[in-house]
Homo-oligomer: A and B are copies of this chain.
Amino acid sequence: MSETNLQILLAARPQGLPRASDFETVERPVRPPDDGEVLVKNVYLSLDPAMRGWMDDRKSYLPPVRLGDVMRGLTIGVVEASRHAGFAAGDRVTGVLGWQRYATVAAEQLDKLPPQVPLRLAMGPLGMTGMTAYFGLLDVGRPKEGETVLVSGGGGAVGSVVGQIAKIHGCRAVGIAGTAEKCRWMTEDLGFDAAIDYKTADLGEALRSACPDGVDVYFDNVGGEILDAALARINRGARVVICGAISQYNATEGVRGPANYLALLVQRARMQGFIVFDYARRYAEAQKAIGGWIAEGRIQARDDVVDGLENAPAALLRLFDGRNVGKLLVRIAEE
């Protein structure tokens, strides 16, 4: 318990892309658990686009991270010490434990991971991003067999699973991403029917060609001009799932609204947002389904692991410049 805790705090509210100076790294003593608390040694930190929103001082589905607080983040770790009957040293757990090596938290903030699940899968398709893909696509998007499902950020942790679940449900799956490598991954490894590199393609033309029967479900992770281009291709009764808007999170001059939103009227379509946390009671259902598909080889996952908690601020930028493929993780400690 003489260990030092490395913590990364939110030091300033970013203007546009987060910079190193928006974070502060501090060393503090590890706090031993009180009654009912658990001390967790973090192993992996999940880096997610939504984090950018949490840094802004704006009402949202979660309160903003306060300046000077440990930056918010989902982690997976191992219990080091417990003063709660439900947890014992060695248990593998997950929770919103923040950008830090150790977290001392109330037991209620933790969920235990089943022992057989590899930690990195628990951060990907069996974790929050997998849950997001599953409930966003199936509950909000409601794809039917034979329909076309288009997903932006198709090379990301959520989008790559959305496309694969769409295929499992008998849909045509089309992904949009920003590098040829991600496009190859989607079509050659993940079984997408088509992929569009939005940085090199004429988006309107590419969508016409990749979605010859139009788009029935559009799962949007990016917003901006890609959302507009997708709206221009939706079919009657289409469902546009708003999962995120990564192209807009660093906008300093205000969010760009979808100018083509009247396609919703013309096509009697709906655009609907969701927050994965609302489905917490149904995670087990999704984990069972996705776990089965992984076992059958029908869902593949890929991760992009950056070593060292101190590199988290720089690694976060990989989400915004299109470099990362699959689930972006920071390895805080060896498994």
Contacts and interface: CB of A to CB of B under 8 A. Distances in A.
Interface-central residue, A261, A267, A268, by most chain B CB under 10 Å: A261
Contacts of A109: none
Contacts of A244: 265
Interface residues of A, number: 33
A273 interface: yes
Interface string A46-87: 000000000000011100000000000000000000000000
A266 B259 contact: no
Say how many copies of this protein the assembly contains: 2
Contacts of A60: 266
Given A242-B261, A242-B262, A259-B254, A273 B268 contact: yes
A332 interface: no
A269 B261 contact: no
Nearest to A251: B259
A268 B267 CA distance: 21
A262 B274 contact: no
A56 B320 CA distance: 39
Contacts of A255: 259-262
A243 B265 contact: yes
Instruction: Determine chain A's interface SS by DSSP, over half rule.
Output: loop
A228 B258 CA distance: 12
Given A270-B271, A270-B272, A272-B270, A242 B257 contact: no
A248 interface: yes
A245 interface: yes
Contacts of A245: 262, 265
A120 B133 CA distance: 52
Contact of A272 (B260, B266, B271): B271
A77 to B, nearest CB: 29
Interface in A214-273: 223, 228, 242-245, 248, 254-273
Contact of A248 (B59, B242, B262, B271): B262
A60 B260 CA distance: 12
B273 A269 contact: yes
Contacts of A266: 59-61, 273, 275
A278 interface: yes
A259 B262 contact: no
A268 B259 contact: no
Contact of A271 (B228, B254, B264, B267): B264
A228 B243 contact: no
Contacts of A273: 262-270
A269 B272 CA distance: 6
